[in-house]
Amino acid sequence: MRIHTTRLTAGFLLACAAFVAQTSHAASPSDSTSTPTAATSAANALEAEQEAATKAAKAVQKIGPAEIALRDQAHLHLPAGYVWVPTPAAAQLMRSMGNRTDDTFMGVIFPADDADWMAVVKFVKEGYIKDDDAKDWNADDLLKSLKEGTEAANEERAKRGIPGIEVTGWAQKPQYESGTHRLVWSALSKRKGGTDDNQGVNYNTYALGRDGYLSLNLITNAKDLDKFKPDAAKLLAALQYDDGKRYADFNSSTDKVAAYGLAALVAGVAVKKLGLFALVLAFFAKFAKLAVVAVGAALWGIAKVFKKKEPAVASTAPANNDTFNGTTVNNAGTGGINEPPKPPTT
């Protein structure tokens, strides 16, 4: 019996791999001597990188329920049904998918089932963020700033061969709960010039603390956002600062105050967050089919998933299958580059 991979993870990895190959090709437009052998070698190298990253992630993954220490700041009470992969393994995994990470990055959360999302967790230590501007902000002004900042960032994306992003509106206007010091907002984004049918969304949640903020950035398709908002809310509620690190523990005489407030956290820092979206946009816009057809079969080898344990079917698993969390994953590539793996048949 062949068990299908998670559509998001397979498509996400595939699209990122396709995009990396596409970007590499764009970087050398004068090179018209590429051969199938060279393409195959590149695909094999990419597959090996993904294999190593997945192996590293598998070795350190934690399946909920579990207590996850987030540096010296907080704990994540990971609920059942979720999988946590910490850095540096998570950073290795993200890099293998074409995403950059920095020292704020702490790990990635995957659903244990076949839900189509992933969440990136960071801690940004930039000081205590004053929230007094939240009562005065204007959502339309914030959206305008976000659009302008994204357009400016597109110039840098173009230099790297990354498709530009267009912010089309709010999926959820910024909402701040002063009692819990939690911020939520979500902007609709798409590949510049793309259709509204293929919009993706970063659903951004923040927990403010004494020294900075924790961010949990859920990435999914816009049409599925309402379905997965409860997951984001549950995970945000599962983030708790340690004693002495809470927002209420701030000491004005000794502690650093951030150079920006909540409005800038939305309109300014958001532009950086949309950089991640630029790399996963290939999945949402489904433009992987425009490139890398030559290495399509090899790319299926990167479709390793964080999935709930299922009974192993050792006697029927073909030789070219892998297992992850006890789940058999077929990497033969028969699904084709333009389609996610097919669901199992009975």
Q: Is 328 helix (H, G, I), strand (E, B) or coil?
A: strand
Instruction: Assign 148 a pLDDT band (cuts: 50, 70, 90).
Output: confident
Say what the pLDDT of residue 50 is.
83
The mean predicted confidence, pLDDT, of the chain is 71
Which amino acid appears at position 341 of this protein? Answer: P
330 band by pLDDT with thresholds 50, 70 and 90: very low
Pick 1 or 307 by higher pLDDT. Answer: 307
Q: 3-state DSSP call for residue 326?
A: coil
Compute the average pLDDT of residues 7-19: 36
- 97 touches 15 (CB < 8 A): no
Task: Out of 130-144, 164-178, 255-269, 277-291, pick the least confident.
Answer: 277-291
Reduced to 3 states, what is the DSSP secondary structure of residue 343? Answer: coil
Burial class (CB in 10 A: 0-12, 13-18, 19+), 248: exposed
Does 100 score more than 60 pLDDT?
yes
For residue 259, pLDDT over 60 is answered with yes
Max CA separation in the chain (angstroms): 67
* Greater model confidence, 298 or 70: 70
State residue 340's pLDDT score: 26
CB 15 within 8 Å of CB 283: yes
Q: What are phi and psi of 307, to 5 degrees?
A: -140, 150
Task: Report d(CA 53, CA 192) in Å as an integer.
Answer: 31
pLDDT at 47 over 90: no
Indicate whether 46 pLDDT > 50.
Answer: yes
The whole-number pLDDT of residue 134 equals: 81
* Omega within 30 of 0 (cis) for the link into 65: yes
Over residues 336-346, mean pLDDT: 26
Exposed / middle / buried, residue 15 (Cβ in 10 Å: 0-12, 13-18, 19+): buried
Q: What does residue 330 show for φ and ψ, rounded to 5 degrees?
A: -85, 130
Q: Measure the CA–CA gap between 7 and 30, rounded to whole angstroms.
A: 35
Give the predicted TM-score (pTM) of the model: 0.67
30 burial (CB, 10 Å; 0-12 / 13-18 / 19+) is exposed
**What distance in Å separates the CA atoms of residue 44 and residue 295, rounded to the nearest whole number?**
9
Higher-confidence position of 64 and 333: 64
Domains of the chain, residue spans: 7-58+288-330, 61-285
Q: Is the pLDDT of residue 206 over 60?
A: yes
Place of tokens 């951030």: 258
Beta-carbon count within 10 A of 345 CB: 7
The CA distance from 165 to 88, in Å, is 29
Mean pLDDT over 61-72 rounds to 97
Dihedral angle computed from the Cα positions of residues 55, 280, 200 and 151, in that order, rounded to the nearest 10 degrees: 150
- The rounded Cα 135 to chain-centroid distance in angstroms is 30
Mean pLDDT of 229-235: 95
Does residue 31 have a pLDDT over 70?
no
Confidence (pLDDT) at 281: 41
Q: Which CATH superfamily is domain 61-285 in?
A: Mog1/PsbP, alpha/beta/alpha sandwich (3.40.1000.10)
Predicted pLDDT at 189 = 81
Tell me which of 44-48, 185-189, 254-258, 283-287 is least confident. Answer: 283-287
